[in-house]
Amino acid sequence: MSIITVAGAGVMASALSFPACDNGHEVRLVGTPLDREIIDNCRKNGWHVTLKRKLPDGIRYFQFEEFEDAVRGADLLICGVSSFGVEWFLGEVLPAIPDSLPVLSVTKGMLDTPEGGLISYPEYYESKLPGRRMSLNAIGGPCTSYELADRRHSAVFFCGKDMTVLRRLKSMLETDYYHISLSTDVHGIECAVALKNAYALAVTLAVGMAERECGEGCGLHYNPQAALFGQSIREMRRLLEIFGCPDDNIIPGAGDLYVTIYGGRTRRLGTLLGRGMPFEKAMESLEGVTLESVVIAKRTASALKKRIEKGLASTADFPLLLHVDDIISNGAVVNIPWKSFETEVF
């Protein structure tokens, strides 16, 4: 049995308590300062108010001021913050743990650099902690927290620099329903699964467009969604190439794109925009909802446009991403550039 401390009581990090507990590990769930209600409620009856599931019996719950006790003797620290909590995790959590404690992050996202690059959060943490020799690992791939908590078959990637560490983490968390592949390509895996947020927003525009035409609750129009999905994969592959990621990383990226399209916050935003609601109004209606899709779309477009300015990429190769950025950044109306998706192959 190992001790697994989870910093951040978000839905995905909390869902990981299911395979962890199923494997007999001691799980300690620590809330961020924003998770006080979640932790208080879990202490009462084990009910997670945002995951909407009862967590496994035996979990120990801690508020963040008790973090020192929660991490004492731990064999693994899971980073459970969203991309909006990255700076908090960097400033409050990582300095408080020893280099010998491996970290496994569920945070999906990237940061754009002034030079027009994209870096993953493990790479960012490493750059901000010179002299530290920490094992910074991450999870990528198609897996929703709700289905993981329901023990549905899920296939993900654990990525990190040290395959020996990755194999140990896999042995701790793999179950007969939670299937784990391993990769030392942190940049490629994390870039691919971050891009899916931007393109899931793009594909779900078609859901709202169908409802605008036929009314809410009408039958879904699959042809437009499929066309946008195909264009998304084309652009994601090109982005992976220009950002130095091996082509095979499109596999976890495509899987993650698929699962994100079919539910959750990104689908809600894309549907509202597709119906014709202006971006600012749509954001107001979703107040309080964490929207990773908006963040990654803006950061990816920012990095891409810097490369276009340098002649390292072409506007013509990314019509869908740039249209999404125009909607987000400039309030443009949804007007899918269908003709720009057409190709001639010789």
Q: Which DSSP string corresponds to 258-305?
A: HHHHTSSHHHHHHHHHHHT--HHHHHHHTTT---HHHHHHHHHHHHHH
> Has residue 86 got a pLDDT over 70?
yes
Residue 323 gets which letter from DSSP? H
Residues in the chain, how many?
346
215 — alpha (psi -120 to 50), left (phi > 0) or beta? left
Structural domain 197-341, CATH architecture = Orthogonal Bundle (1.10)
Q: What are phi and psi of 314, to 5 degrees?
A: -120, 135
Supply the pLDDT for residue 291: 80
Would you give the DSSP letter of residue 93?
I
70-74, 83-87, 237-241, 332-336: range with lowest mean pLDDT: 83-87
CA distance 239 to 98: 36
Q: What does the pLDDT read at residue 289?
A: 63
pTM over 0.85: yes
Tokens of 149: 């908590």
How many angstroms separate the CA atoms of 203 and 151, rounded?
27
Q: pLDDT confidence of 287, banded at 50, 70, 90? A: confident
pLDDT of residue 138: 97
Q: What is the pLDDT of residues 223-259, one digit of tens each?
A: 999 999 999 999 999 999 999 999 899 999 999 999 9
Question: CA angle, corner 51, sides to 83 and 109, nearest 5?
Answer: 15
Predicted confidence at residue 288, as pLDDT, reads 61
Reduced to 3 states (helix: H, G, I; strand: E, B; else coil), residue 7 is strand
**pLDDT of amino acid 290:** 62
Class of CATH domain 3-184: alpha beta
Burial class (CB within 10 angstroms; exposed 0-12, middle 13-18, buried 19+) of 319: middle
Structure tokens at 2: 């190992």
| 35-68 confidence digits (pLDDT tens) | 999 999 999 999 999 999 999 999 999 999 999 9
The enclosing H or E element of 279 equals: helix 279-285
Mean of pLDDT over the chain: 94
Domain ranges of the chain: 3-184, 197-341
